[in-house]
Chain A
Amino acid sequence: MRSVKEVSVAIIGGGPAGLAAAVRLYDKGIKDIVILEREKMPGGILRQCIHDGFGLTRFKETLSGPEYAQRFIDMAEERKIPYITDTTVLEITPDRKIYAASKNGILEIQAKAVILAMGCRERTRGAISIPGERPSGVYTAGVAQSYINLYNKMVGKEVVILGSGDIGMIMARRLTLEGAHVQAVFEIQPYSSGLPRNVEQCLRDYNIPLYLSHTVTDILGKERLEGVVVSRVDEHMQPIPGTEKTYTCDTLILSVGLIPENELSIGAGVTLDGRSKGAVVDENYQTDIEGIFAAGNVLHVHDLVDFVSREAESLADAVAAYIENGELRKCSLEVETDTNITHTIPQKISGEKSFLLSMRVRQPMKNCEIVISQGGQIIKKKNFKKALPAEMIQIPIDAEKLNSSENLEVSAIC
């Protein structure tokens, strides 16, 4: 039967962003909420991230992914926040109606506010156009992680990894601990795309070489993977002829980037930022569709879950204000960047509210300075001994320093 439900806030996704937003909303007095989760259990991607190192900032201890998720699940359950699992949202309309499918039927929800917290997906072989045959044995790092940590299936024995994303390096260690032989990690960029600590504790600890400026240029094997050809690349990331080397292996793991999962957002009419691949949001994490908000990896890919939960909490504060007042301050000022910065969150501000500015640099920089200004007037400067694309930079901006008439300019200067 068709069941229509009305709620103040519907949260799409029960991962760390969705759970953190729900808990904060509840504590702010917004209790009429529902979390929609497509998996059997809440927790999102953390359920398969069994390695430790989560929660250092928030909990002052180092937890595994499932433990970190459990902290938030426990908080949600203590508050009796309803979450509906095994339910996939099919559509969100611009007027915040949600259609979702589950074994119990098609659920229809009308929400005053919708929080997009769907996380991200992995880039695939097709997305980066790796040539060659199409055998089995080519897995993205997250899929391999899911098979090994959730499904109890071992994906292979002789492994090559393309891409030095954090999950790729973590899988290098994970596979090694489970008896596979990881021959090498290849990275097309001249620098690691994951955190330096993961290079240290996942690769160096296990004598797994990391080759920078290298990529896979051919995939061999018509049935199961038999090998990969790896080439060195030039400064334009084009393979250099004559540098090909064949590695015999039965498994290729791809860790070549994450993309915010915004199919539902697009359906709702939300405008995306071509740089972050997530929604364009203002200082309230509100998208350009009123009442639809976004935080976490669906907005921009994070490297630390503590940043995700913190962002979701800031979002929840704004959503609570939105529910109470029926609207939020208009944000018409743009956040502009120079070419050293890939993107910022938020992209729009009012100039009248303090906010946290998140950004990434395009390439590694040493002894650089992030300068934030408005109409030539410097608002804030921050020095960095090193700035890496792998590390998100976050700088709090104080409303008192801002004016409400000029765009904000962000630049990274060496």
Chain B
Amino acid sequence: MEQYDITIIGAGVVGCAVAREISRFQLRTVVLEKDMDVACGNSSRNTGMLHAGFTYAPGSLKAECTVEGNQEFDQVAKELDVPFKRTGKLVIGFNETDRANILKFKKIGEINGVKGMRMINREEMDKIDPNAGGEFAMYVPSSGILDPMQYTIALAENACSNGVKFRFGSKVEKILREGDTYRILTSSGEFRTKWVINCAGMYASQISEQLGYPNYPVRGFKGEYYVLDKKAGKNMPIPIYPAPNEKGGFATHATPTVDGNVLVGPDSYLTDEPEDYKTTKEHMDGLYRDGLKMFSEMKREYFIRNFAGIRWKIYNPSTGENQDFVLESDDAHPHTVNLVGIESPGITCALPLGRRAAAIIKEKEQPDNNPSFNPCRKGIRRFSEMSPEEKIHAVAENPDYGEIVCRCETVTRAEILTAIHNPLGVHTVTGIKNRTRATMGRCQGGYCETRITEMIEKELGISETDVRYSKAGSYMFTGKVR
């Protein structure tokens, strides 16, 4: 049985951020993940916004962590080599109702500590983005866009290089208190640990209950998205949001991604199923209709893909009100940290939450600092982002940089090989995709998927029947033809 000081349940962005912050200390730490990679749930199913924090209730953990996470992210992106642009955001309005709602949230933002928000007129909007609709806008300079998969991977890889272990395919089935330790039964075997940190995302309420905390009532707000071709993103320098309603909710919007695509969505409807990621004709049609109204590049020829994500919010069954994030730890539940209801803006809040979780453990355990802790991690060097001179040098140094495997995204063999041999030991096709962008382009792997699966087989010495698309049961081949 593997033994650890700290066991983190869940390798979403929150679990990985907690792992990274705990790796600052000399503690034996493991992350248990039921799937075959990090960010398999909602960490990879969102808009990729670094939120500013003007729609969250003043004094809430959400507001506090958002503003903190936002302010530090230039540094974080640099340390962890995460694709990030502080684009700012325009919240646009057409009429006086819009203006009133915008001003309401501007004030909340100011109380929360969001800096630099200001109302601008059409003339100033034209300087920022002449294609933006609306008569006036609130300009929020601190908003930004990032790649949420790369960010989660970066946190995990940094934690890993600082000593944290990752165990994929390890679904937590039971947690038993035995003396001063916990015994955790998982689908891959048993783990003994002193501390348990619940970062189980959509399953956090169940884990919470197993640890003796309440089984918090949660509701799933599901949203669907369209991913559009980079051609649609050419003239979209900044995310544009419609004016919020009085509760701070936004209607369907179009957001550029840090790689230059456009996301249209999410819409919002309730779901009960934890991993209800299926897309539906009804909602895809709705997104198309709404998208057409506000975004001139909403063209069918630009459709690349659809996906869905779910925000699992804690709510109060008697009032129906949604609740703040829960981060708790007390002596009645010894050696546990319980994180429940961490939904949007979970990406922005992940590190601040991780820091708070680590602080609780630091206080109790008084651990030594990890002497070899390095806050920095390097991502895979992208050929497509090199200057012409750099490309020449890269190919001269490593000829694999001269072999283009993914044509649409210009991803080279060198990048795919680095991804296949990633420090976390992930080798699903989706894992390679999230690390390199290969297969993410307009042909969706039509050209490169055959090459990537062949490389996975050859590099790892596995048979074609062992190649997985994403999940454990997602085999791609039934055998050889001959």
A and B touch in the complex (CB under 8 A): yes
Binding site for B on A (CB under 8 A): 1-2, 38, 86, 88, 90, 99, 101-106, 121-122, 124-129, 131-137, 140, 142-143, 146-148, 150-157, 178, 217-219, 222-224, 239, 250, 263, 266
When the two chains form their complex, are residues B471 and A222 in contact, meaning their CB atoms are under 8 A apart? yes
Please report the C-alpha to C-alpha distance between residue A367 and residue B329 in the assembled complex, in whole angstroms: 80
When the two chains form their complex, are residues A133 and B277 in contact, meaning their CB atoms are under 8 A apart? yes
Given contacts A126-B444, A263-B408, contact A224 B473 (CB under 8 A): yes
Identify B281's interface contact among A102, A127, A217, A224, CB under 8 A. Answer: A217
Interface SS of chain B:
mixed
Can you show 23 pairs from A to B with CB atoms below 8 A apart? A38-B407, A90-B410, A101-B403, A103-B395, A104-B399, A106-B391, A106-B392, A121-B443, A121-B447, A122-B443, A124-B443, A126-B303, A126-B306, A129-B284, A135-B469, A135-B474, A151-B450, A153-B476, A153-B477, A155-B478, A223-B470, A223-B472, A263-B407
B404 within 8 A of A: yes
When the two chains form their complex, are residues B395 and A105 in contact, meaning their CB atoms are under 8 A apart? yes
Residues in chain B near residue A128, CB distance under 8 A: 303
Residues in chain A near residue B410, CB distance under 8 A: 90
Residues in chain B near residue A157, CB distance under 8 A: 478
**Given A101-B401, A126-B303, A223-B474: 8 more A-B contacts, CB < 8 Å:** A90-B404, A101-B391, A103-B400, A104-B402, A105-B392, A136-B469, A157-B478, A178-B481
Residues in chain B near residue A218, CB distance under 8 A: 278
Please report the C-alpha to C-alpha distance between residue A152 and residue B463 in the assembled complex, in whole angstroms: 12
When the two chains form their complex, are residues A124 and B446 in contact, meaning their CB atoms are under 8 A apart? yes
Residues in chain B near residue A136, CB distance under 8 A: 468-470, 474-476
When the two chains form their complex, are residues B275 and A222 in contact, meaning their CB atoms are under 8 A apart? yes
Residues in chain A near residue B443, CB distance under 8 A: 121-122, 124
Kindly provide the distance from the CB of A300 to the nearest chain B CB, expressed in whole angstroms: 16
Residues in chain B near residue A104, CB distance under 8 A: 395, 399, 402
Please report the C-alpha to C-alpha distance between residue A374 and residue B80 in the assembled complex, in whole angstroms: 65
Given contacts A38-B407, A106-B391, contact A143 B400 (CB under 8 A): no
B449 within 8 A of A: yes
A38, A136, A218, A266: most-surrounded residue (chain B CB, <10 A): A136
Identify A154's interface contact among B392, B444, B445, B480, CB under 8 A. Answer: B480
Please report the C-alpha to C-alpha distance between residue A184 and residue B391 in the assembled complex, in whole angstroms: 48
When the two chains form their complex, are residues B279 and A143 in contact, meaning their CB atoms are under 8 A apart? no
A134, A140, A143: most-surrounded residue (chain B CB, <10 A): A134
Please report the C-alpha to C-alpha distance between residue A218 and residue B453 in the assembled complex, in whole angstroms: 26
Residues in chain A near residue B399, CB distance under 8 A: 103-104
Residues in chain B near residue A132, CB distance under 8 A: 278-279
Residues in chain B near residue A106, CB distance under 8 A: 388, 391-392, 395, 402
When the two chains form their complex, are residues A154 and B478 in contact, meaning their CB atoms are under 8 A apart? yes
B67 within 8 A of A: no
Chain B residue with Cβ nearest A103: B399
When the two chains form their complex, are residues A142 and B446 in contact, meaning their CB atoms are under 8 A apart? yes
Please report the C-alpha to C-alpha distance between residue A246 and residue B301 in the assembled complex, in whole angstroms: 29
Kindly provide the distance from the CB of B247 to the nearest chain A CB, expressed in whole angstroms: 29
Given contacts A2-B392, A121-B446, contact A131 B279 (CB under 8 A): yes
Residues in chain A near residue B473, CB distance under 8 A: 223-224
Residues in chain B near residue A154, CB distance under 8 A: 477-481
Identify B476's interface contact among A102, A124, A155, CB under 8 A. Answer: A155
B227 within 8 A of A: yes
Given contacts A103-B403, A125-B444, A126-B305, contact A224 B408 (CB under 8 A): no
Identify B278's interface contact among A1, A124, A131, CB under 8 A. Answer: A131
When the two chains form their complex, are residues B284 and A147 in contact, meaning their CB atoms are under 8 A apart? no
When the two chains form their complex, are residues A224 and B402 in contact, meaning their CB atoms are under 8 A apart? no
When the two chains form their complex, are residues B477 and A147 in contact, meaning their CB atoms are under 8 A apart? yes
Please report the C-alpha to C-alpha distance between residue A134 and residue B278 in the assembled complex, in whole angstroms: 7
When the two chains form their complex, are residues B446 and A105 in contact, meaning their CB atoms are under 8 A apart? no
Kindly provide the distance from the CB of B161 to the nearest chain A CB, expressed in whole angstroms: 30
When the two chains form their complex, are residues B395 and A88 in contact, meaning their CB atoms are under 8 A apart? no
B482 within 8 A of A: yes
When the two chains form their complex, are residues B304 and A127 in contact, meaning their CB atoms are under 8 A apart? yes
Please report the C-alpha to C-alpha distance between residue A69 and residue B262 in the assembled complex, in whole angstroms: 40
B328 within 8 A of A: no
Residues in chain B near residue A129, CB distance under 8 A: 281, 284, 300, 303, 306
When the two chains form their complex, are residues B392 and A155 in contact, meaning their CB atoms are under 8 A apart? no
Please report the C-alpha to C-alpha distance between residue A38 and residue B410 in the assembled complex, in whole angstroms: 12
B396 within 8 A of A: yes
Chain A residue with Cβ nearest B308: A134
Kindly provide the distance from the CB of A188 to the nearest chain B CB, expressed in whole angstroms: 13
Kindly provide the distance from the CB of B202 to the nearest chain A CB, expressed in whole angstroms: 14
Residues in chain A near residue B277, CB distance under 8 A: 133-134, 222
When the two chains form their complex, are residues B445 and A143 in contact, meaning their CB atoms are under 8 A apart? yes
When the two chains form their complex, are residues B481 and A148 in contact, meaning their CB atoms are under 8 A apart? yes
Contact with A along B273-288 (1 / 0, CB 8 A): 0010111110010000
Kindly provide the distance from the CB of B280 to the nearest chain A CB, expressed in whole angstroms: 5
Residues in chain B near residue A86, CB distance under 8 A: 403
Q: Which of B25-43 contact A (CB under 8 A)?
A: none
Please report the C-alpha to C-alpha distance between residue A148 and residue B412 in the assembled complex, in whole angstroms: 24
Identify B450's interface contact among A121, A137, A146, CB under 8 A. Answer: A146
Chain B residue with Cβ nearest A136: B469
Contact with A along B376-413 (1 / 0, CB 8 A): 00000001000010011001100111111001101010
Identify A126's interface contact among B227, B412, B447, B468, CB under 8 A. Answer: B227
Residues in chain A near residue B474, CB distance under 8 A: 135-137, 223-224
Q: What are the nearest 10 A-B pairs in CB distance?
A: A223-B473, A136-B469, A88-B404, A126-B305, A103-B399, A136-B474, A124-B444, A223-B471, A103-B402, A153-B477
Residues in chain B near residue A38, CB distance under 8 A: 404, 407
Q: Which of B232-259 contact A (CB under 8 A)?
A: none
Please report the C-alpha to C-alpha distance between residue A68 and residue B434 in the assembled complex, in whole angstroms: 39
Chain B residue with Cβ nearest A140: B446
B126 within 8 A of A: no
B275, B450, B471: most-surrounded residue (chain A CB, <10 A): B450
Chain A residue with Cβ nearest B405: A88
Chain B residue with Cβ nearest A88: B404
Please report the C-alpha to C-alpha distance between residue A227 and residue B140 in the assembled complex, in whole angstroms: 46
Residues in chain A near residue B476, CB distance under 8 A: 136-137, 153, 155
Please report the C-alpha to C-alpha distance between residue A121 and residue B444 in the assembled complex, in whole angstroms: 10
Given contacts A88-B407, A133-B277, A223-B473, contact A151 B227 (CB under 8 A): no
Please report the C-alpha to C-alpha distance between residue A148 and residue B481 in the assembled complex, in whole angstroms: 6
Kindly provide the distance from the CB of B389 to the nearest chain A CB, expressed in whole angstroms: 9
Residues in chain B near residue A223, CB distance under 8 A: 470-474
When the two chains form their complex, are residues B446 and A122 in contact, meaning their CB atoms are under 8 A apart? yes
B395, B400, B412: most-surrounded residue (chain A CB, <10 A): B395
Given contacts A127-B304, A131-B284, contact A102 B403 (CB under 8 A): yes
When the two chains form their complex, are residues B482 and A152 in contact, meaning their CB atoms are under 8 A apart? yes
Residues in chain A near residue B479, CB distance under 8 A: 153-154
Please report the C-alpha to C-alpha distance between residue A136 and residue B412 in the assembled complex, in whole angstroms: 24
Kindly provide the distance from the CB of B374 to the nearest chain A CB, expressed in whole angstroms: 33
Chain A residue with Cβ nearest B471: A223
Residues in chain A near residue B396, CB distance under 8 A: 1, 105
Please report the C-alpha to C-alpha distance between residue A239 and residue B278 in the assembled complex, in whole angstroms: 18
Please report the C-alpha to C-alpha distance between residue A155 and residue B445 in the assembled complex, in whole angstroms: 15
Please report the C-alpha to C-alpha distance between residue A127 and residue B402 in the assembled complex, in whole angstroms: 30
B297 within 8 A of A: no
Kindly provide the distance from the CB of B248 to the nearest chain A CB, expressed in whole angstroms: 30
Chain B residue with Cβ nearest A148: B481
Contact with A along B260-302 (1 / 0, CB 8 A): 0000000000000001011111001000000000000000110
Please report the C-alpha to C-alpha distance between residue A125 and residue B307 in the assembled complex, in whole angstroms: 12
Please report the C-alpha to C-alpha distance between residue A131 and residue B225 in the assembled complex, in whole angstroms: 12
Kindly provide the distance from the CB of B451 to the nearest chain A CB, expressed in whole angstroms: 9
Given contacts A136-B470, A143-B450, A155-B476, contact A239 B281 (CB under 8 A): yes
B464 within 8 A of A: yes
Please report the C-alpha to C-alpha distance between residue A142 and residue B443 in the assembled complex, in whole angstroms: 12
Please report the C-alpha to C-alpha distance between residue A265 and residue B9 in the assembled complex, in whole angstroms: 49
Kindly provide the distance from the CB of B434 to the nearest chain A CB, expressed in whole angstroms: 14
B330 within 8 A of A: no
